[in-house]
Homo-oligomer: A and B are copies of this chain.
Amino acid sequence: MAAVPTLLVLDAEPLPRLGRLTGQARVVHTDEAGLAARLPAADVLLVWDFASRAVRDAWPGEGPRPRWVHSASAGVDHLLCPELVASDTVVTNARGIFDQPIAEYVAALVLAMAKELPRTWESQQRREWRHRESRRVAGTRAVVVGSGPIGRAIARTLKALGVTAAIVGRVPRTGIHGPEDLDRLLARADWVIAAAPLTEQTHGMFDLRRFGVMQPSARFVNVGRGQLVVEDALVRALERRWIAEAALDVFATEPLAPDSPLWQVPGLHVSPHMSGDTVGWRDDLAAQFVDLFERWAAGRPLKNVVDKQRGYVPGH
């Protein structure tokens, strides 16, 4: 009988519920500081602390290393260092867990902005009855940048509300536009939703030029990664009223520091990277990993395998 594999967990509170792996794995917990010393002896690494960038620094260049790394997140940009990309270690992600919650969160932001709920609740604080006309959502146009399961769930949910939603991906395919269509779609969009993985191609793609292409009535939402957006450019676009409003759930640096200017930009709604995190999400993430571990231990092919060159799980 083969030795029980060693599972190294890069911890974050609350810890994952891995009871189902009892007897199937020797589970070793570590914090960021202990990661480098423990990596060579691990067969599998579970990056439970999905906000940590410690894997990039601790990854062994040579010698023994985990054969498989799983990240409890949709994005894997925080762990893909050149050595890991070059190695034969398999990387998987939490594809599927966040799709519907994030799609609902985007729908909540879109509807809240259309109906001016933030302004209404400000008026409530001042005990002011300010009747206004708000906007219909049905019949408006959205562009969703990101053609993975999250982007597609967002487009599906917006379409259910009567929005015409176009999806832009890395390559055109049925129902998905290629990057060459992006600017044309941005110029006509009422809603621009960023839900792409962070890659060399998408880093900083929402810059001053792209905000300049959008309509003055456009509203921008980022639920992907903070670095998709040049934050200074977004601030300038809002201040100059190149676009009407924006909502950011992700930022270049998280958590956002108390002295960040982003907290107080007129027309900018800030939320603390929570769009995908609905009650029970951590249990869902742990159960997904346990399922994958059992496949891996049984020698069956893994799911959610990241294309390390591209930086995300390709295909449908």
Interface, chain A (partner B; CB < 8 A): 100-101, 104-105, 107-109, 111-112, 114-115, 117-118, 120-121, 123-124, 127-138, 157, 160-162, 254-256, 258-260, 263-264, 269-274, 277-281
Which residues of B sit under 8 angstroms from A162, Cβ to Cβ?
100
- Closest B residue to A278 by beta carbon equals B136
Which residues of B sit under 8 angstroms from A264, Cβ to Cβ?
127
Q: How many copies does the complex hold?
A: 2
16 additional contacts, CB 8 Å, given A134-B279, A160-B161? A100-B138, A104-B138, A104-B161, A107-B161, A108-B112, A120-B269, A120-B274, A127-B259, A127-B263, A129-B255, A130-B272, A131-B273, A133-B279, A134-B277, A135-B278, A157-B161
The verdict on A269 contacting B124 (CB below 8 Å), with A161-B157, A277-B131 known, is: yes
B121 in contact with A114 (CB, 8 Å): no
B101 in contact with A136 (CB, 8 Å): yes
A121 in contact with B274 (CB, 8 Å): no
A115 in contact with B121 (CB, 8 Å): no
Q: List 19 A-B contacts (CB under 8 A).
A: A104-B137, A105-B115, A107-B107, A107-B161, A108-B112, A120-B269, A120-B270, A120-B272, A123-B272, A124-B263, A127-B260, A127-B264, A129-B254, A132-B277, A133-B274, A133-B278, A134-B279, A136-B278, A136-B279
